[in-house]
Chain A
Amino acid sequence: MPLPEGLYGLMAEFDSPSELVRAAKAARTAGYRRLDCYTPYPVEEAAEAIGFHRDEVSLVTLVGGLLGLAAMFGLETWIAVWAFPLNIAGRPYFSWPAFVVPAYEWTILWAGLSACFGMLALNGLPKPYHPVFNAPNFRDGATTNKFFLCLESTDPKFDAAETRGFLEAQSPVSVVEVEY
């Protein structure tokens, strides 16, 4: 597949999350759909502003947690009832109260690992290259104190001049072109 060339998008820089959220809402209202926000820390409202409602991480976490629960409870049952039955103070082999704590721990462990790796996988990470890093101001501020809104050129509504005008109307610190 040939590498894409040309303009990736136009990126506006803001000083505060409030301004970013306002601009993102305006862009969404204006009809832009291929757009993204970049913030140094999670800003849930920014995600909502660009129409990002659900993600599958919670489902992956739930499935992982249930698998962990079933795996440990099954393992304990198998060991205690069939593989190595022991008479412990006359209790029944299937003593479920004793199985609860490890099963619970595995639920958490599997849910946590599923959430972490599920999130990375669904985010498409690790990603060694992304065009937005070509913008120098992005490299300087994206992980510290700057908030970015990028309108991508693949959007049918994208027009280099018109989109620039729209972004500048949102009173950003700057608007830069991002090359692939």
Chain B
Amino acid sequence: MANGYFTKGLPSTLSAPAFVDKWRLRALIAGVVFSAIAVILAFLGEMQNGLGWLHLLRGWLEGFVACFGFCFGAMALLFVQYLSGGKWGLIVRRPLEAMTRTWPLIVLMFLPVGFFGASEGRLYIWAKYADWKDALAKGLITHDQAHAIQWKQPMLNVGNFWWVSLVCMGIFAMYCILLNKWSLKRDADPEPNVAYWRTRFENLSGFGVVLFAALLFVLVIYWVMSIDPTWYSTIYGFQYLVGEPFMVLPLAILTLLGLKKAEPIRSTFRTIEQHDLGKLCFALVMLNIYFAFGAFIIIWSGNSPEEIPWFLDRIRGGWGVIATLDVIFHWLIPFSLLLSRDLKRIPRKMAMACYVMIFAGFWDLFWLIEPSFKDAARNLQLTWGIFEYAAMPAAMFCFWLVYYFGQLKTRPLIATNDPHLAEILEHDYVHA
């Protein structure tokens, strides 16, 4: 209901305000500090138990999976908002596009995982003990592990690891490039051509979202699930499919809340959209616990010796504390906060919920990754190395943020050729 009397008109400036540079600087400093801490921790860990650099690599894997999620999870959310339509999609579109444009950094971050993790076999035992007969004879791996490595070799081998990872990321990068290119073209179009652009983006997104879900499943099998090659789960990929927007959407909201201090976001990011985005976060919180608890209860009910050790590895020997806190951070706190209607509409409190959700995402990755290694399964040791899981991902996330904020400045913050534009320019109370 675009009504001239109530419309505010497009803000005079659409580019990101100058204080984004300050954000970049802060992220850069934090990144450097965390990197230094990570290196110090690695030396300390090496002296303590000889696992220091290995823990740094594991922390790197967590940081990589998280940053991958921020970049390509944003791509998935872009697909979703093009397919579903709605005002919320217009307001988060440019921040999400900025996130997707960080894909070159993600490919760079993958290289150490590929080189040290797979090629040198420091993360994946199927790479380290590809000669499973020999390793079994020397007692380096158990019979179960040897069996799994033998039968999964057609999929789990170093060559496949490299080309599958790079091809999948290449395909995603192509989607990111197209989404970004067309979005600019759409704005430059002198005519609105609503139907044309909508169809075009829908066709790209419709297939893209299916392809992304399928390929993401393959990637997380290679990157995370295969650390313990004896275990498998058919819901594993879906947990990441929800886990990524679970971190991306709060980050997009935090970006908008930060940008709200100045134009153009001040007059376009209204309480209504903030409320809508909060509701979507709430839905993600529920879907996430649904998958996580669903996986748990199915395996718990089955009680099969092939599946249940995965959970026992993550509950016994001190890991129960981490698992319980995971439920609290991932579900209880955001659920309780986002349940309230008022809280979703108050910027400061909404921001708090968003911080908790992003933190929970990192915490969950820690719980998923570290117990997969036999030295840590059912045996949580508070060594220096464990803190790599805080320092290394934090450093990588900060550097990723530097890139992201830089990208945020390269484009207008509002896409102008969109039928929803008139709506977000109205005052808060005339949406009905």
Query: Measuring CB to CB, which residues of chain A are less than 8 angstroms from any residue of chain B?
Result: 16-18, 21, 39, 41-45, 48-49, 58, 89, 91, 97-98, 100-101
Contacts and interface: CB of A to CB of B under 8 A. Distances in A.
B215 to A, nearest CB: 32
B303 interface: yes
Contacts, number: 37
Contact of A18 (B300, B303, B341, B429): B429
Contacts of B5: 18
A98 B293 contact: no
Interface string B297-334: 10011010000000000000000000000000000000
B424 to A, nearest CB: 16
20 contacts: A16-B1, A17-B432, A18-B5, A18-B430, A21-B429, A39-B432, A41-B432, A42-B432, A43-B432, A44-B432, A45-B429, A45-B431, A48-B429, A58-B341, A89-B303, A97-B296, A97-B297, A98-B300, A100-B297, A101-B297
A48 B341 CA distance: 14
Interface string B328-366: 000000000000110000000000000000000000000
Measured as residues with beta carbon below 8 angstroms from the partner, the interface class of chain B is: 10 to 19
Contacts of B432: 17, 39, 41-45
Given A18-B3, A18-B6, A100-B293, A45 B428 contact: yes
Given A18-B3, A18-B6, A58-B341, A97 B430 contact: no
Nearest to A42: B432
Nearest to A104: B293
> Which has the most chain A C-beta neighbours within 10 Å: B5, B303, B428, B432?
B432
B180 to A, nearest CB: 36
A98 B5 CA distance: 58
Nearest to B303: A89
A160 B19 CA distance: 56
Contact of A98 (B3, B301, B341): B301
A97 B3 CA distance: 54
Given A39-B432, A48-B429, 9 more contacts: A18-B1, A21-B430, A41-B432, A42-B432, A49-B429, A89-B303, A91-B303, A97-B300, A98-B301
Contacts of A98: 297, 300-301
Contacts of A16: 1, 3
A106 to B, nearest CB: 16
Nearest to A89: B303
A101 B293 CA distance: 10
Nearest to A54: B342
Nearest to A41: B432
B299 to A, nearest CB: 10
Contacts of A100: 293, 297
A17 B428 CA distance: 12
Nearest to A101: B297
B419 to A, nearest CB: 19
A91 B293 CA distance: 18
